[in-house]
Chains A and B, each alone.
Chain A
Amino acid sequence: MQEDLKKEQLARVNIYALISRLLMTEVDEDLLKLILKDKNILSFFPVFKDWKKRKGMSNKDLIERYLNVDFTNLLLLHLIPYESFYTREDQMMETGGDNPVQQLYNDFDFRVELDTARVMAGDHIGVELEFMYKLCEAQMKALDDGAEDVVAQIAEIEYNFLKEHLVEWAPLFLLNVKNEAGTAFYFDLANFAIEFILSDFQYLSDLKKNNFKTKEESE
């Protein structure tokens, strides 16, 4: 059972890592190569897998002619991948220290390198997902160390973060991405991310019923 739990946790770590990365910056050749090569990853991109346009095209061309164009359209130009845009009444982005997500990171001693992320505020979807990745990673370590209390504490943080932030707005944004996507890759990515976020929230909600104690203990 413990192994299942660890497997589950590892999956969460890797998926948060993947979707945060892809929603934060453009895909590069190495990552694209990995996605295409790794059948487990590729399975999350079913339309893209069979997308005719990519056939007979080098990864470089695919990125430059399609994927980067779509990324720019979806995440830089036309859609606004920031929580504050979706949650503030005036639909303004909060780029200063008053951003509640930013304050949350500060509370946990996390500091976003906005210039590295190339984003304007810490409530960018990619950053929020990477925050979840960091939490999951920490939870994984705690699990390895057998620190069950810590595992539960982190799970509660994850639950709250999803509930108060990501679930509040990310599905809406990702639906927009899905609707606006000009490539199968970002269509699939949006779909994958929505499904995973909602699924993960369901998972954590189930844990909450047991005060975030692991299934093994609760059973």
Chain B
Amino acid sequence: MYLQSRRTFLKGAAFSVAGVAIAKGVFATDAAAESITSSKFTNTPDSISFYPDVSEWNSFKELDGTDWKRGGIERHGVRSEDNPDGIQVNDYTIVPTVCSNCEAGCGLTAWVNTNEFEKGILTVRKYMGNPLHTGSRGRNCAKGYAVTSQMYDPDRIPFPIKRAPGSKRGEGKWVRVTWDEAMSAIGKKMHDTLAKGDEISKKQIMYHVGRPNENGFGPRVPQSLGIDGYNSHTNICSAGAREGTIQWANDDRNSPDWAGADLIFLQSSHAADAGHYFQQSAGYIADARKRGAKMVVIDPRMSNSAGMADLWIPAWPGTEAALYLYLANRILHEKDRDGTDLVDHAYIKEWMNWDRLMANKDYLKKMVGYGYISKVPTGDSYEDFIELAKELYAPYTKEMVVRECKLEGMEYKLDELWDLFIPAGAKIASYLWRAGAIGHRGGWMNTRAGFLPLALRGAMRGDIGGIGMHHWHEISVAGKGDKATVAGEHPKPTDAWNELAWPPEYPLSTYEMGFMLPQLMMDDEWLEKWTKRGLKIPKSLSVYVPRMHNPLWINPDGFRWMEALKREDKFELTFNLSPTWSETNWYCDYVLPVGLAGERNDQQSTPSKPEQRIEFRQAVLRVAAEKAGWKPKDPTRATLEAHAKFGLGEVWEESEFWPNLIFHHVDPDGSLGVGKYWASKKDPSRCVSVPEWFDEALSLLPKLKSAATKMYKGEEYPVYSYIRDHGAWTEKTDVYKPQEEELEFDGTNYIAHGKKYPKDTVTKDEFGALWVKDGEFKKSIGVDIDGKLHEGFHTLSKKLEFFSEWLTEWKWPEYAVPIYPRNEGEYKKMIHLVTQVHHKEMKADNEFALNTIYRLPYNIHTRSVNSKHLMEISQNHNPIWIYTKDAEKLGIKRGDAVKVQIEDTLTGIQSGYFVAMAVPTEATRPGVLACSHHAGRWKLQDSVKIPGFAHSLGIMSLGSPKVEMTNDGKIGTMKTTEGIHPHKAWQFKEYNKDLDFIWWDGLSGAWQNAVAPLHPDPVAGNHGWHQKVILSKGGPDDKIGNIYVNYENNFKVYKEWRDQLARPLDASDKLRRPYHIKRPVKPSQKAYEFNIKDV
């Protein structure tokens, strides 16, 4: 029938109804269609490179993501007057900022929707990366993208609150106050304290900083007050690794060139899974591996990194030093395939301080005494040193390592390690941080020993693909906007030394012993002891200020913190500068809400590659509003005003808060002489503003200043304008081996680090180091190697210090070279280097080492608690990992509640227990449990009612269960009573329409930190986080999350660790601490003087 006559179809013309009435009519109006073709939007972008050019950032139009769900422009066109049903176009001001979750400081851009600016509404619709940040390269981890849910957390504290008059701390009664009221009361208290002017008063205001995520502004605050009042969280975080690096290079930490390496050598999952500087580091590690680099992970737990590594070595936690010294032994004794030595002699001979060791016959004799070597070498040549080293490390055999690291059955892994380590030559990148270094007594030696094989192979030279030093790549100028102030100069160091942060038991701590503040404050015996000897230690703090810190929850022995913070005679006035609710807030007098990633103004610098870069975190609503023409009433409070006006609430931040507080309330009449450090040079009637301060601070970077002044010609604050618009600046790339740079000499002066030293004031010692006078002390400024002058490392010898000579003078001579107990006899003698969770302490099948120090890649200790996005991907992911066969032996199955009893191995004292959920797995080694100490948040109430305010304020309702708690000064208990129940969102409703979908109950973690007793390492001062635990199946009353703590016992443990292990200062000591090693917020040389009598 093909084809019918065409005429047949002519009947179509005679239809009784016209086609138009029959057709479905699926083609839209011209207006809608034109809206597509006339717009730049498309369903199929040419590229997934989604960052517009920076020139478009002030106004970049993009289709609305939520609206897009209706079907995209193909169905609805683009919204316009003619096409009101189309997809909405948002006009974004893209404001660069920096993530404030972990310390990596990855670049962000806040996409601020300005559509309704005229109505007084600005909203950040999303946070993306910042492609101009050369470290993070436009990428972020889950925490970066989750910043929106932190910003518009429905439980955010919307205004300052104060403990209700007449109520006690912890009762949970709050009233609303203004920032001015709070500043007035706090300022007066601070003024009255400072006005006393005596030594004690200079130790009574304490600024206790959590993760700072900025480079220098915070430390300047107490310094400007003339006090020694800076405290930090670092000794629960990083101290062990710092100590090991300081002994080698007098640098805070190392700085690897991941991307250029042939071997990625990781101790723990830090850098690739989480931490310094996760996401950036992980990206460079991925780049290196793509190129063919190998990866080794040494970790008792199979982390994400270990799972992807070429080799996973699950060494027993805390014994890693033995493994590293085994590598050193083989490097010293064996030859390469071509018969040459494996030691990079040319480098070691020039750049290691072996010469000082060989010249120090007294110390060599001591080494003989310690049993390290059999006799004092007859010669002092380099070759003699190598022979000494060979003898010193000969005992670290494969058999010894297998025994010490408990690698029985895994001997082949040591061979594989060798086969990966040697071919990489000097191109080995590593970051010896976190678990191995912080979790243990003697953890610092894991870093110290770990750098030895790397140094012997030449990898510590800081060349391409190797390991440099952190300060080479870090820029700290945030505290240096001094020229913007009336004072015009940096505040002078104080003459006071605060024993509450730097107690005399731990002169080498790296750094403040912040985690033991309540132990010190509540220990009258300790106070009396040191007072009798002549130290002036305050009995109380007049003002205690945690900043983005939750010390009560994150530190060990939490109930002791609770007891202490409740004591108004010890902590007279407390306020927390806190972006979220926290357990600590509950016990403070004021909670002052401060900003997160897009709500603050901070300069940060995060070395994730061999370059010098800064990033700038800024209050994005303020910046977007200012770009749209908005002006604050008070330029020094612009951020606060913008947040209040554009819907975030009365949320402020430190770079405006502190200048206002100090200038207007602490020193209103200038009589204390501290207000001038924050008074604006431009307008002395007010304090300094953000643009004024940061323009001056960032102008210290010459290349940035030059580029900015060209680009923003004629502007008042060109450097600030540059960083405001770009968010990051790379001052110098390819920073390799700066220690080998020639020391500048202009014929008259040596020039080191920008300072001139006349030739006749410089002396050279027998080892080539150049010395100058530094006040009452001496310091070295360079080193002569074979007739050439170099800048050198930051050590006194200006070389890598295999021999830490100053450690011998500071009471720890036996550990002045990398060493680790080689046999059972030495465990006792060298107890300071033996982890408290050593396998010799595990005597029964149910006794384990508990590995607590690893981060979940999608959580940050405390500030992510109420981010619904991060909660969703992390809930029920913090069980206690137990090796499958260990679980079988104990009859433990997946999901069982298990009781984890903590027992101190130094004293045998038990602390109590927490109940956790067991997950048997092959991903932790036999004998070692794993449970990250990041979960287990709690609250006592679901919400608080503020008199006069219409809505009740939810308390961590998306991330924390509710508990019942008892504590009587000795015993503390906690039981979970309810899981997650989202509080009704009365603010940020548009962002929280999905709260009904929350499925997680928050009942998978326990507050294990409260059960943990303090384990201060006697040298580095870090809290040894790992615990020996005794595991049993939970009984019917043991619900996951329950805890029981005898914190009186915990106090005994702390004291024994202090008294049995530390080597405190005594009357023979003249200094508080070695002057040449870092102390954040360094006081004057006078403050270092130590003059006590033995009693």
User: Could you tell me which A residues sit within 8 Å of B by CB distance?
Assistant: 7-8, 10-18, 20-21, 24-25, 31, 34, 37-38, 40-41, 43-44, 96-98, 102, 105-106, 109-117, 119, 122, 126-127, 130-131, 133-134, 137, 191, 194-196, 198-200, 202-203
Known: A18-B22, A130-B23. Contact between A8 and B10, CB under 8 A? yes
User: Do A7 and B13 touch (CB < 8 A)?
Assistant: yes
Given A13-B12, A133-B23, output 9 extra A-B contacts at Cβ < 8 Å: A7-B10, A17-B18, A21-B22, A21-B23, A24-B26, A106-B33, A112-B75, A117-B26, A137-B20
Q: A7-B10, A40-B14, A196-B9 are in contact. Are A109 and B33 (CB under 8 A)?
A: yes
- Top-4 shortest CB links A-B: A17-B19, A97-B43, A11-B12, A97-B44
With A114-B74, A202-B3 as known contacts, state yes or no: A14 contacts B33, CB within 8 Å: no
Query: A13, A16, A130: which contacts B27 (Cβ < 8 A)?
Result: A130
CB-CB under 8 A for A130 and B33, given A38-B16, A111-B74, A113-B75: no
Judge whether B32 is part of the interface by a CB distance below 8 angstroms.
yes
Chain A residues near B6 (CB-CB < 8 A): 199, 202-203
Chain B interface residues toward A at CB < 8 A: 1-4, 6, 8-20, 22-28, 30, 32-34, 36-37, 42-44, 71, 74-75, 77
Inter-chain contacts of A37 with B (CB < 8 A): 16
A102 to B26, CA, bound (A): 13
Taking CB atoms, residues of chain B closer than 8 Å to A10 are 12-13
What's the Cα separation between A18 and B20 when bound, in Å?
A: 9
Question: How far does the Cβ of A144 sit from chain B's closest Cβ, in whole Å?
Answer: 14
- CA of A47 to CA of B89, assembled, Å: 53
Instruction: Given the known inter-chain contacts A18-B15, A97-B74, please indicate yes or no for A130 contacting B2, CB distance below 8 A.
Output: no
Question: In the complex, which residues of chain B have a beta carbon less than 8 angstroms from the beta carbon of A16?
Answer: 19, 23
User: Across the two chains, which residue of chain B brings its CB closest to A198?
Assistant: B3
Name the contact of A20 in the complex, choosing from B1, B23, B32 (C-beta under 8 A).
Answer: B23
B15 and A38 contacting across the interface, CB-CB below 8 Å: yes
- Selected from B4, B15, B30, B74, the residue in CB contact (under 8 A) with A14 is B15
Pairwise interchain contact B10-A116, C-beta atoms closer than 8 A: no
Task: Say yes or no: A127-B26 contact (C-beta < 8 A), given A34-B16, A38-B16, A114-B71.
Answer: yes
Q: How far, in Å, is A1 (CB) from chain B's closest CB?
A: 14
B22 with A31: CB separation less than 8 A: yes
Given contact pairs A98-B44, A117-B24, A117-B26, A133 touches B9 in the complex (Cβ within 8 A) = no
CB pair A14–B24 under 8 Å, yes or no, is no
**Within 8 Å CB of B1, what residues of A?**
191, 195
Indicate which residue in B8, B10, B12, B27 contacts A111 across the interface (CB closer than 8 Å): B27
The dominant DSSP class at the A interface is helix
Q: Which residues does chain A contribute within 8 Å of B14, judged by CB atoms?
A: 11, 40
Q: Are A199 and B13 in contact (CB under 8 A)?
A: no
How far is B42's CA from A43's CA once the two chains are assembled, in angstroms?
45
Point out the residues of chain B lying under 8 angstroms from A119, CB to CB.
Answer: 26
B260 to chain A, nearest CB (A): 40
Nearest B-chain residue to A194, judged by Cβ: B2
**B18 cross-chain contacts in A, Cβ below 8 A:** 13-14, 17
Q: How far is the CA of A21 from the CA of B21 in the complex (A)?
A: 10
Q: Which B residues are in CB contact (< 8 Å) with A202?
A: 3, 6
Q: Are A20 and B16 in contact (CB under 8 A)?
A: no
Complex Cα spacing A114 to B43, Å: 14
Distance between Cα atoms of A97 and B71 in the complex (Å): 12
| 21 pairs of residues in contact across A and B, judged by CB atoms under 8 Å | A8-B13, A13-B18, A13-B19, A14-B12, A15-B19, A17-B23, A18-B22, A25-B24, A38-B16, A40-B12, A109-B30, A111-B27, A111-B36, A115-B75, A117-B26, A122-B74, A126-B24, A191-B1, A194-B2, A199-B9, A200-B9
Q: CA A25 – CA B26 in complex, angstroms?
A: 11
Which residue among A11, A98, A122 has the maximum number of chain B CB atoms within 10 Å of its CB? A11
Residue of A nearest to B14 (CB): A40
User: B4 to chain A: which residues have CB within 8 Å?
Assistant: 195, 199
Residue of A nearest to B29 (CB): A111
A133 to B20, CA, bound (A): 9
Q: Are B15 and A41 in contact (CB under 8 A)?
A: yes
Q: Is the CB of A18 within 8 A of B27?
A: no
Complex CA gap A109/B23 in Å reads 19
Q: Please indicate the chain A residues that have their CB under 8 angstroms from the CB of B20 in the complex.
A: 17, 137
**Do residues B71 and A115 form an inter-chain contact, with CB atoms below 8 A?**
yes
Among B10, B11, B34, B74, which residue has its beta carbon within 8 angstroms of that of A112? B74
Residue of B nearest to A17 (CB): B19
Residue from A10, A31, A200 having most chain B Cβ neighbours under 10 A: A10
Contact of B22 among A17, A97, A109, A200 (CB under 8 A): A17
Decide: B13 and A131 in contact? CB cutoff 8 A.
Answer: no
Whether A40 and B15, one on each chain, are in contact in the complex, defined by CB atoms closer than 8 angstroms, is: yes
Q: Please tell me if the beta carbons of B3 and A195 are within 8 angstroms of each other in the complex.
A: yes
Question: Separation in Å of the B612 CB from the closest CB of chain A?
Answer: 44
Instruction: Check B26–A116 contact: CB distance below 8 A.
Output: yes
Neighbouring B residues of A122 by C-beta, 8 Å: 74
Decide yes or no: A11 and B10 within 8 Å by CB, A40-B15, A130-B27, A199-B3 being known contacts: yes
Measured in the bound complex, the distance between the Cα atoms of B264 and A114 in whole Å is: 52
Contacts of A203 in B (CB 8 A): 6
